Amino acid sequence: MTGIIADTKAIQYHIGLSTQMLCGAKYAFLPGDPDRVNPIAAFLDDARELTQHREYRSALGYVDDIPVLVMSTGIGAPSTGIAIEELARLGVTHFIRLGTTGAIQAHVQLGDLIISEGAVRLEGTSGHYAPIEYPAVPSLALTQKLVEATKLRDYPYQTGIGCSSDSFWPGQERYDSFSGYVPRHLQGSLEEWQRLGVLNFEMESSALFTIARTFGLHAASLCGVIALRTQSEAVQQNVYAQVKERLAIVARDAVRLHHKAHGTPL
């Protein structure tokens, strides 16, 4: 990573970025954790850090000659919504969430990549953009390229529906919280989602899909499994490094494939 770039023109209030700083980037990789930005950007060409403001750390790199922004969104749907809003104003049109997740189906294994075909809207942010009847679905073209890139690398993966919650503990029916209490309307919800074939819990994808769709933009979600809720509540740190690398490689390859198939995004 090279030095930080400064730009004072038309800086977006929350993310601290301007159009000039993005160098025409239409693609954005969106991890949650700011500490994952630089490791992801390291898989791009000529990567350099841009800035950090609040939870939004950013870097810019290239896939061949295609500029790609990597920017953290923090935890949860509200901060993700802000990121999408401000990046869209700067001309970003294609968003790929790169996250970690806990699987709730027995056939999913640690280290698997989950490519979302849709998400349960168990968060409140997307409701500020569209009624609950509006589906949270990703871009078909962008999602197909994630699948294609994953297959080319021979990484284990799953496709299906995820569930995006506004809370890490009660919304995902975890009982290892401070109080150990889950409200009655959420008790039994884990089993219900399992019976409905939902693959995993995370906290951002449904807002990303809904907001991008209502804006006429394109979004996809790629998550790495670091916890098996069918066995334990614990995050398995031993697979974390492997998952981070796979996320970065697949996203990079998917941009290359998408650009080859569809040209420069407008």
The CA-CA-CA angle for residues 95, 100, 102, to 5°, reads: 130
Q: Exposed/middle/buried for 36, CB within 10 Å: 0-12, 13-18, 19+? A: buried
Gyration radius of the chain's alpha carbons: 18
Kindly name the residue from 49, 55, 86, 202 that is annotated as catalytic.
Answer: 86
Distance (Å, rounded) from C-alpha 39 to C-alpha 217? 26
Distance CA 190, CA 172 (A): 7
Cβ-Cβ contacts under 8 Å for 133 (sequence gap 6 or more): none
Assess whether 14 carries a catalytic annotation: yes
Joined together, the tokens standing for residue 260 give: 């080859």
Cβ burial of 139 (10 Å; 0-12, 13-18, 19+) is: buried
Please identify which of the residues 94, 97, 121, 174 carries the catalytic annotation: 174
53 token code pair: 């403001």
Looking at 229, 246, 252, 258, which residue is catalytic? 229
- In a 13 Å sphere around the CA of 131, the CA atoms on its Cβ side amount to 1
Catalytic residue selected from 14, 54, 256, 262: 14
Q: How many CA atoms lie within 13 A of 259 on its CB side?
A: 18
DSSP E strand boundaries for 176-228: 200-202, 218-228
Determine whether 184 is an active site residue. Answer: no
The answer to whether the beta carbons of residues 198 and 120 sit under 8 Å apart is yes
CA distance 48 to 186: 44
Residue pair 122/165 in contact (Cβ under 8 Å)? The answer is: yes
Residues with catalytic annotation?
A: 14, 86, 174, 229
